[in-house]
Each structure stands twice: as C-alpha cells, then as structure tokens.
Structure 1
C-alpha cells in the first residue's frame, strides 16, 4: 500500500447515511478514516487524531464547513481541506476555495471523481512536504549546485548522469539554453572527480578574439596558457562552438595525444587535462557546415549532457525560488519569510526564457524592493507578470485551470458589454464586487494594463 493510500482522512457531514457511505468507500480504498457528525465533534476528534485531509460538508447546522476549516487549521495548519456542496454551485465552491479550501466535491459524489480529487490533493501535499524537506536541507548548507536543485525527472536525470560520468576522465559536452546551469555541471564534474584538488580553468571561447585565443591556450614557458594551467585538473570551454580553426586543431591534439605545442624549437609538453565543453548553439549544424571539425566534435562529445530549460521543469521553480530567497535575504539582511501564494503562482506561470539565471536575478530584485515579510506580485518585475496564455485566447479544455477559464469568461463578457461590470455580473451570475475584485488582481498581475471602466 502506498504512502498516499495510508493518508488520514476526517469526514464531516451532518447526514448520517452520506457520512457513513463516504467513510466506507475511503476505507475500502485503503485510507485511514475517521468521521464526525458536525464541526464541534470534528474539533474533538483532532485533539487525539491528526488528519492529513479534512473532507467536510459546506452547509451544516451550528458550524459550517468554512468555519470548521479555519478552526481546524488553527490546530493543524497544513491540513488539506476538500469541501462538499449539495447545491451544485460553482460560485459556492469557488468562494470556499478563496477562503482557503484546497478543492471541492459536488454531491452526489461519484467514487471516480472523489478518488481523482484526493489523488490531486495528496500529490500537492506530497510536493509541498518534499519542498519543505529540501528547504531544510538547503538552509543547513549553502548549495553549490543551484542549477541542479529540484525534484523534476529532467534534472534528476542530469544529476544521475553527472554522478556516473564524474569519476572518469572522459570528455563531456554540455548542451543547453543560456542560464540553464552548464557551468554548474562543469564545476560538479570537476569537484566530484579525483581531480578536485587540481585546478578548474574556465575559458569563454566567444569572449576572446580568434588570434588572442590561440595564444592564450598555448602561452609560453614564462606564462603558461590555459591548457598547461589546467594540468592535473579540468579545462572548461564555454561556447566551444566559437573556437576558431587553429584553436580547434590545438584542442584536438590535446585530446588525441595528451600534448600541447611548446615554444618554437622545443618538444611538445605532456598535459593531463580533462575537457568539459559547453554550447548553446546548434553545434551539429556547424559541423555539417564545415565550421567545426567533426573529429573534434566526436572527441568532445563522448558523453553529452543536455540541460533542460526551466520551462521544461517548472515544478522545480518553488524550490529554486526559495533557495535564492534564503541566499539574498541573508546577503541583504532582510527579514522575508517567503512568497505569497499569488506571487509564487506568477513565478510558476512564467516561461523563464533566461532560465535559472533569470529566476535568480528576479528573486534578488524582489528581495531588494520588498519591505514586508513576504514577496508579493508587486515586488516582481513587470515583464514576468504576463500570463502563460493570452487573456483573449480561448483556454484549452482539458488543459486549463479554473482560474484561466474564469478569467477568460470575465474579460470576454466585459468586452461584450463595453466594460460594464454590472451587466457582466448579471450575465455571468456573479456579483459586480467579485468582478471588480478579479479585475484588481488582473491589473496587479499585469494582465490588464489599465483600470477597466465601472458603471
């Protein structure tokens, strides 16, 4: 039985038959279940039995589900809450979720839908707990591998491959977009090898003129170049695709023969160097075009590691953001505890074309401008406040969140009625105040550039 199936669930419903049936269904699915007939009895239950999930009816005499949720969270702050409503009103359920509920169910409850909701809630809870565990580990020590932090499958595969390759002397070619952590991989390969006591010499191939780069690689007896300075250690060549032809020949000889040319008239010098190269370009195309030697490419790419973009591993954003937050709150001596839920939502929704490096810069800026205890959306750069889907683009179903669907409905209806919140509210069956509240959120998130007209 999995850890999820052993989760503790407290069912609260004033209808005996519904309460008993739901409890039995959950027990049959392997959950540990307790039940209570009302909010007061539920509060008594949690004094001796702490639930992971509270499933409560929304409308109950004496204490409704929302009030119960708040009282339970006073004692069990991290409890997940699923509210049930017999009224079939999305408005009622959405209102409960705005008050802090994790998810909702509509009566009569079907078993498949119940299990789907619970799976989603418990998965979210597990991710949250794992993030907290990682935060604790990261707080205990300053991470030297920020670009490789995370729980995603993509970054886990990179870490695994780095661990497998590091002990050998094999050349490695690291490929990926700017800011994904290619230099971090080079550093980890060096530090995890038996060369860690030797030098790690980094060369930016694109930053040095062609004629100068050849001289810098070789150097002289009086002033050894990059290749000889890396003897006994690791040579990291960033933007290796930019190597000029002569420099490619020098590097190929090093990889094939383990020697570099010395000053004129002297024998070649033996050099023990491991080469790690990185590129963000389509180096295969450069080989096909004859701009990069194919024999050198094959030598460099004995092992190739592809760094995933941050967009490909968006589930790692909260952990990375938390790590950067700790780093910069210490650096700038700020008392910032974390992110608001909406600020974290903005970070996760953004595509991050600059990858981990851009996220790091964003969090540093937020720490500098924040004067409170939490990072809010207003502390984030305006350019990242754009939604992942254009506001006027029809949301895909399935594939869109309820919030995206709601935003689309509100904005398109407002457009249809010329911006009148009262008319839009009548069409949508919600209150004008709710529309105004949502518009304020959209403006803060950068979805609306200016205030919409109210009537």
Structure 2
C-alpha cells in the first residue's frame, strides 16, 4: 500500500526511529504520540492505517489508557493495532489484548520481525471502514440530519436530490421510525421552494372529522367550536411544501377532497364559498403498502397514482447493519453536547448487543436509547447496564443467515462467517466476539474458507 500512515505511541522515540528506518525512502507517513490521550486527539484530525503502542505508554494510567484504546478500536475499524511490550509491561499489554483488537510482540524486536508484523496488520485491514472520531467525518456520512454510509442509504440520498429538482408529488414509504419526515424536509430544503414554508401534518394523529379543517381550513361558524377563521395547511404553505404524514389513514371522504386539490390546485375552506387557488408541492408518507390498500378498496386508486409519481422507500435499520454504529455515534455526539458530557464511545459488549438487536423502532429507537444511556452514564464509555432491558433480552437475536437443511457443516460455517463479517463491517475483532471465538480461531477459519482478502 502506498502512503501508509503509521502512528507510534511511546514516551521515548526508540520504536519511532526503528519504524522510520524500516520505511526509509518509502512514501509512508510516520507520526508520534507521547500518550494514548495525545493519540486520541490525532485520531480526531487524521485516519491512521497502523497504530503501534509501546507497553510503557499503556502502563501510564492503565485504566484510562485501556478505555482510550477500546474507544479508538471501536470507532476506527480501518486501523490495525500492534502492541509492543517489554517483560515489565506484560500486565498492561495483557489488559490491552483483552480488548480483542490487537496484535502483540515482545520488545526488543528486530527490523525484519517488526516489518513482518506491520505487513500482516496491513494485510488484515478491512477494505471498507471509517474513523468515527474524525471531527469532520460526520459531513461524509450525514445528509440533512440523516446518517448512513450503506449503499441503501446512498441511494435514498440520490433519490432525494432527484426529487428536489422538480415539483412532482413524492410518496415516501418506510416503517415507523425510519425518518420519513427527514426525507420530506430534505426534499423541501434543497428544492426551489426552500425559501417558503414547509408545513407537516400528521394525518394519523387526527380524528377524521378534523382532517379537512387541518388540510383546507374553515370559516368562522362553520361548525360547533369554529370561533374564528382558520387557515389550513394548503393555505399556510403558499409556494412551499405540504407534508402529508401517514396519508393512508384518511377516510374516503377526505381522500376525495385531497384528490380534488391535486387535480385542480384549488380548494374551499369548510363553510366557505370562495375557491382558493394553491401553489404548493405535495410530499406524502406512509408506513403501510398503499398498493395493497388499493387492492382492498381502502384507498382510492386514482389518489394513489396522483401521489405515487416519484417513490422513495427508506430501508429499515435491520437491513443496513453497517449504519448502526454510525447512527449510535451521531446521537452520542449530539447528546454529549446537549448534556455537556464526554462519553468517548461504547464498550465492545454494548456494540455487540446493539448490532444483534433487530431495531423494530428503527432510527427513532436508536436515538431514544442513546439519549437515555447518555443521561444514565457516569463512566467514560456506555456499558450494557445503560441499555434498556429489552435490548439485553434480545441480544441473542441476530441477523438472519440462509442456512438450509442439506447444507454441509462447512457451507453453514462459511455463510455464518460471511454474514457476521458484514454486520461487523469487516472488523475481525468484533466479528470474533460476535461468533464467540478467538481472533486467531477466526483467522484460521478465514484461511480455511479462502476469505483472507
């Protein structure tokens, strides 16, 4: 690999000078940190391929050093970690190795052996990975308050940009908590209507008799309790965007009224006689399959086709496992700032539990769980005790693996390892923990199945 970046953590410069000697004349960036605290700060500014830590650096404030090492390991899946320790530092090195993220060798070490160790670490680096400690990295994985680096979410972001280029109606589909409101708002914010109002209306929370009033407004005295004229969403959103959330919940009468507005671009307030012209963009959302509702005669076919001109489907969190750690980190940063805390990350057990959970409440559930955990946490990292009981009870659940009767043991093992590596974003240490085996045992199985890429 060209331009390899290596960070050496040690109080002296002995290992640093050795690494510089080994890579003399090669396009390699070699950096020094006097402590793991200093290293942490450097990870906030840059991503490193290899992190080499001396046992003496670990021995200083051992508990804090191990916390920092776990945080770096959990948030920087792209970085491979090597521990070099003298005999007197073996206790500190042993503690570091229990994080499951490191390779180890004794000091002193000759140049040839150290080069082999670094080459092996470089070979084991995941093809894809991120440094979530980077202060500016959030810009790369977020889009208008939505977070994701998976292919599925990148496709959603692309569709949002496409939809914003025109005024056609958009229908957003997705399970509860996937962020349909954020997609609608993003479409508005990057469209030509961004300077005008964005008016959301949650139709599912309104009694059917109030839907028309909220959509189209009413005149004073139109019904009992109508003490004054009320402007509806289509009037308030002049030249802007109306967001119809849970559009599938409205009854047939209101479906007809909504269809009329879409066809004629005009409406009457309840109790009014004046025909009011409207110039708005309509974005609708649903957590149900409207095509099925049409087939069951619960939703008008003509209204469905009026709304479903441009479709965006938001995937559930369980189908974008690589994004879970990104979402957790995003909300951890947000609530750290909100509560003026300095929680540096999650323990490996916490990460395993969260990655195994199915997330029926999707992004909203992750946000609420991290909010709760930050409020409860007084430690440097989030621990399983800070998570709700339902996550701990469901931690035995995992992402489905297609193993069928008739598959050989070797075939089943291969599928299980591939899926686990996918969930762990190719982080070998994390995958080994999820499988309940040692890192070395995982490498042996990777070699056995020709997965050592």
TM-score normalised over the length of structure 2: 0.65
Instruction: Determine the structure 2 residue equivalent to 1:123.
Output: 127
Judged with a 3 Å threshold, the aligned counterparts in structure 2 of structure 1 residues 102 and 5 are, in CA distance, closer, same or farther, namely farther
Match of 2:214 among 213, 216, 230: 216
Contact 1:53 1:82 (8 Å CA) reproduced? no
Judged with a 3 Å threshold, the aligned counterparts in structure 2 of structure 1 residues 200 and 119 are, in CA distance, closer, same or farther, namely farther
In structure 2, how many angstroms separate the alpha carbons of the residues matched to 1:402 and 1:158? 32
Judged with a 3 Å threshold, the aligned counterparts in structure 2 of structure 1 residues 247 and 403 are, in CA distance, closer, same or farther, namely same
Judged with a 3 Å threshold, the aligned counterparts in structure 2 of structure 1 residues 406 and 199 are, in CA distance, closer, same or farther, namely closer
Deviations 1:140-197 (A, max 9, x none): 9xx8833x21211111111111112113211110000111000001111111112222
Larger-gyration structure (1/2): 1
Instruction: Determine the structure 2 residue equivalent to 1:80.
Output: 80
Instruction: Determine the structure 2 residue equivalent to 1:415.
Output: none
Match of 1:46 among 19, 24, 37: 19
Match of 2:190 among 189, 192, 208: 192
In structure 2, how many angstroms separate the alpha carbons of the residues matched to 1:137 and 1:404? 27
Match of 1:403 among 430, 433, 452: 433
Instruction: Determine the structure 2 residue equivalent to 1:132.
Output: 133
The structural deviation recorded for 1:263 is: 5.6
Judged with a 3 Å threshold, the aligned counterparts in structure 2 of structure 1 residues 45 and 160 are, in CA distance, closer, same or farther, namely same
Contact 1:338 1:373 (8 Å CA) reproduced? yes
Match of 2:283 among 276, 279, 282: 276
The structural deviation recorded for 1:407 is: 6.7
Instruction: Determine the structure 2 residue equivalent to 1:359.
Output: 366
Instruction: Determine the structure 2 residue equivalent to 1:387.
Output: 395
Instruction: Determine the structure 2 residue equivalent to 1:331.
Output: 338
Instruction: Determine the structure 2 residue equivalent to 1:149.
Output: 147
The structural deviation recorded for 1:402 is: 3.1
| Gap runs ≥5 in structure 1 | 11-39, 57-64, 84-93, 106-113, 409-455
The structural deviation recorded for 1:249 is: 1.1
Instruction: Determine the structure 2 residue equivalent to 1:259.
Output: 266
- SS of the equivalent of 1:193 reads coil
The structural deviation recorded for 1:405 is: 4.1
In structure 1, how many angstroms separate the alpha carbons of the residues matched to 2:51 and 2:231? 70
Contact 2:50 2:122 (8 Å CA) reproduced? no
Deviations 1:195-245 (A, max 9, x none): 222222111112112222123322235222222222211111111111111
Instruction: Determine the structure 2 residue equivalent to 1:162.
Output: 160
Judged with a 3 Å threshold, the aligned counterparts in structure 2 of structure 1 residues 212 and 55 are, in CA distance, closer, same or farther, namely closer
The structural deviation recorded for 1:271 is: 0.5
Instruction: Determine the structure 2 residue equivalent to 1:314.
Output: 321
Instruction: Determine the structure 1 residue equivalent to 2:76.
Output: none
- SS of the equivalent of 1:203 reads strand
The structural deviation recorded for 1:266 is: 2.8
Contact 1:103 1:121 (8 Å CA) reproduced? no
Contact 1:362 1:380 (8 Å CA) reproduced? yes
In structure 2, how many angstroms separate the alpha carbons of the residues matched to 1:80 and 1:9? 10
Instruction: Determine the structure 2 residue equivalent to 1:233.
Output: 240
Match of 2:355 among 348, 369, 381: 348
In structure 1, how many angstroms separate the alpha carbons of the residues matched to 2:252 and 2:210? 13
Judged with a 3 Å threshold, the aligned counterparts in structure 2 of structure 1 residues 99 and 203 are, in CA distance, closer, same or farther, namely closer
Aligned residues between the structures:
344
Instruction: Determine the structure 1 residue equivalent to 2:98.
Output: 98
Contact 2:161 2:190 (8 Å CA) reproduced? yes
Larger relative contact order, structure 1 or 2 (CA cutoff 8 Å, min sep 6): 2
Judged with a 3 Å threshold, the aligned counterparts in structure 2 of structure 1 residues 99 and 272 are, in CA distance, closer, same or farther, namely closer
Deviations 1:399-445 (A, max 9, x none): 2443344379xxxxxxxxxxxxxxxxxxxxxxxxxxxxxxxxxxxxx
- SS of the equivalent of 1:195 reads coil
- SS of the equivalent of 1:151 reads coil
Contact 2:212 2:270 (8 Å CA) reproduced? no
The structural deviation recorded for 1:95 is: 9.7
In structure 1, how many angstroms separate the alpha carbons of the residues matched to 2:194 and 2:176? 26
TM-align CA RMSD: 4.1
Judged with a 3 Å threshold, the aligned counterparts in structure 2 of structure 1 residues 203 and 118 are, in CA distance, closer, same or farther, namely same
